[in-house]
Amino acid sequence: MEKIKVGVLGATGSVGQRFIQLLENHPYFTVTHLAASEKSAGQTYGEVMKSRWKISSDIPSYAKDIIISLPDPNVTKGVQLVFSGLDASIAGEVETAYAEAGVIVLSNSKNHRMDPNVPILSAEVNAHHLDVLSAQKTKGKIITNSNCTIMGVTISLKPLMDAFGLKSVMLFSMQAISGAGYPGVPTMDILGNVVPYIGGEEDKAEVEPQKCLGTVEGGIIKSADFKISAHCNRVPVFDGHTVCVSVAFEKKPKKEEILKVWADFQGEPQKLGLPFAPNPAILYREENDRPQPRLDLDTGRGMTTVVGRLREDSILDWKWVVLSHNTIRGAAGAAILNAELLYKKGYFK
Ligand code: NAP
């Protein structure tokens, strides 16, 4: 089968660059359309990114000669899907315009996440949420990723929720500076420092996991019924969000039961053998001082959720630490995995 033509919106940003890197030689998709702001439009990707590329591998050659346009569904001839890494100030209306023009949009922005008929799709967790797409009235459809901070948390909770039920969750995040985009947090604010506030982040962290872990009822998503309290902090780490999680269960499991549930966890991507599916989906590290961003971030090419330090919580039941790569598992890699799921499920012509 011929490869599906796709676009990247916000191709010059932190998330956009990851898409460009990860989509090189993808077996199902070929990138033919790149969009960004007026600052970049009209120039080739290679020219614009000469001084802005922030990933350790080179700019893939396939992207260098593509001329960046302003986001515009009318210039995307033959593109069936766009990956969006647009700034939230513009993402909402632009993504709707692409969906109206018949394009499938895989978004990383917050704008459409809480719309009841838009899945916050995490391919291992809730592939069945694709059932609500028929309730979207546009010819194309919008699907979002969750916020990058809670991506790994939700994956670690999913098999435990199914086995033991969840009552309440406390989260304490230590979020990397790349999570704020480029140029992001000023050096003077973050070097040798911790910033105990990230605008809007706690609000998202307290509602998105429940939607992601929810059920489909009457054509819309009904959020799971448990509470989350979140503290979100910016720390001087380049990539990788670490989150300390404490959980109360409906039925308190034993430690061995939790470890077994994590070790056995396989979602649809693993069962279907999708190219970006990590194996294992969840890796538990036995060492007392893991996971650490510097040591564990690239596990499963940045797609595995790395968990450690499982121990009893003296107030709730159990606590642990989760690490996930914010621009791969929390953004571009997760969206590509979602696109692979759509491909296997026959969403493309
Ligand atoms: P970023 O580095 O600031 O990149 C933003 C992108 O949006 C750039 O390509 C920029 O193009 C484009 N853009 C801005 N204003 C525009 C306009 N008016 N018209 C067209 N394009 C415009 O941000 P980011 O970190 O990649 O984040 C992008 C989105 O993903 C955000 O919604 C963010 O919350 C979300 N997200 C980020 C992460 C992460 O770890 N960074 C993880 C998950 C989700 P120019 O370069 O031409 O200005």
Q: Tens of pLDDT along 153-190?
A: 999 999 999 999 999 999 999 999 999 998 899 999 99
Closest residue CA from atom 17 of ligand 1 = 37
- What's the pLDDT at 76? 79
- What's the pLDDT at 54? 93
Residue pair 223/214 in contact (Cβ under 8 Å)? The answer is: yes
For residue 97, give the amino acid letter: A
- What's the pLDDT at 222? 97
| CA 143-122-115 angle, 5° bins | 40
Cis bond before residue 269 (omega within 30° of 0): no
Residue pair 87/40 in contact (Cβ under 8 Å)? The answer is: no
The DSSP line for 82-114 is: EEE---HHHHHHHHHHHHHTT-EEEE-SSTTTT
**CA torsion through residues 98, 100, 105, 109, sign:** positive
Q: Which two tokens stand for residue 340?
A: 């692979």
Pairwise CA distance, residues 243 & 260, whole Å: 21
Give residue 182 CA to ligand 1 midpoint distance, Å: 8
Q: What percent of the chain has pLDDT over 90?
A: 97
Mean of pLDDT values over 84-104: 97
Pairwise CA distance, residues 55 & 47, whole Å: 16
Length of the chain equals 349
pLDDT 10s digits, 229-277: 999 999 999 999 999 999 999 999 999 999 999 999 999 999 999 999 9
40 lines ligand 1 (CB under 6 A): yes
Question: If you average pLDDT over every residue of the chain, what do you get?
Answer: 97
pLDDT category at 75 given cuts 50, 70, 90 is confident
Is 241 a catalytic site residue?
A: yes
Residue pair 216/127 in contact (Cβ under 8 Å)? The answer is: no
324 lines ligand 1 (CB under 6 A): no
Give residue 296 CA to ligand 1 midpoint distance, Å: 26
Closest residue CA from atom 48 of ligand 1 = 37
Helix (H) or strand (E) holding 142: strand 142-144
* pLDDT reading at 325 higher than 80: yes
* pLDDT reading at 1 higher than 80: no
69 lines ligand 1 (CB under 6 A): no
36 lines ligand 1 (CB under 6 A): yes
Pairwise CA distance, residues 116 & 266, whole Å: 26
Q: Which two tokens stand for residue 12?
A: 């010059």
Residue pair 159/257 in contact (Cβ under 8 Å)? The answer is: no
Query: Given ligand 1 and candidates 9, 17, 37, 147, which is best to mutate, with the most ligand atoms within 8 Å of its CB?
Result: 37
| Pairing relationship of beta strands 142-144 and 29-35 according to DSSP bridges | unpaired
* pLDDT reading at 32 higher than 90: yes
Give residue 344 CA to ligand 1 midpoint distance, Å: 28
Q: Evaluate if pTM is beyond 0.75.
A: yes
Closest residue CA from atom 4 of ligand 1 = 13
Is 148 a catalytic site residue?
A: yes
- Complete domains list, the chain, with CATH: 4-147+332-344 (3.40.50.720), 149-325 (3.30.360.10)
Ligand 1, residue 10: give the atom nearest the CA: 9
